[in-house]
Amino acid sequence: MMKRLLAIWHARNLEFLRDRATLIFTLLLPIMVVVGMSFVFGGPERPLFKVGVLTAKIDRQSDPFLRERYVDFVPIATESEGLRKATHQQIDLLVDLRGGARYWVNTDAPKGYIVEKLLLAADPAARRQPVAGAAVRYVDWLFPGILGMNMMFSCLFGVGYVVLRYRKTGFLKRLHATPLTAFEFLTAQVLSRLCLIVFVTGVLYIGIGAVIHFHSVGSLMLVGLLALLGALSMIALGLTIAARVSSEELVGGLLNLLTWPMMLVSGIWFSLEGSPRWVQWVAHVFPLTHLLEGARAVMLDGAGIAQIAPNLLYLGATALIFLAFGAWSFRWRIE
pLDDT digits (tens, 9 = 90+) for 8-29: 666 666 665 666 655 565 566 5
Query: For residue range 126-141, what is the model confidence (pLDDT) as tens digits?
Result: 888 766 555 667 777 7
Query: For residue range 150-176, what is the model confidence (pLDDT) as tens digits?
Result: 888 888 887 777 777 777 777 778 878
Sheet containing strand 71-76, edge to edge, reads 71-76, 49-54, 93-96, 102-104, 127-129
- The pTM for the full model equals 0.66
Query: For residue range 32-89, what is the model confidence (pLDDT) as tens digits?
Result: 655 655 555 555 566 778 888 888 777 777 778 888 888 888 888 888 888 878 877 7
**Structural domains of the chain, with CATH:** 49-129 (3.40.190), 138-329 (no CATH)
The SS3 of residue 290 is helix
Query: For residue range 182-223, what is the model confidence (pLDDT) as tens digits?
Result: 777 777 777 888 888 888 888 888 877 777 777 677 788 888
The yes-or-no verdict on residue 266 having pLDDT over 70 is yes
Long-range contacts of 166-173 (CB under 8 A, 24+ apart): 167/246, 167/331, 167/332, 167/333, 167/334, 168/246, 168/248, 168/334, 170/333, 172/332, 172/333, 173/332, 173/333
Q: Taking residues 296-325, what's their average pLDDT?
A: 87
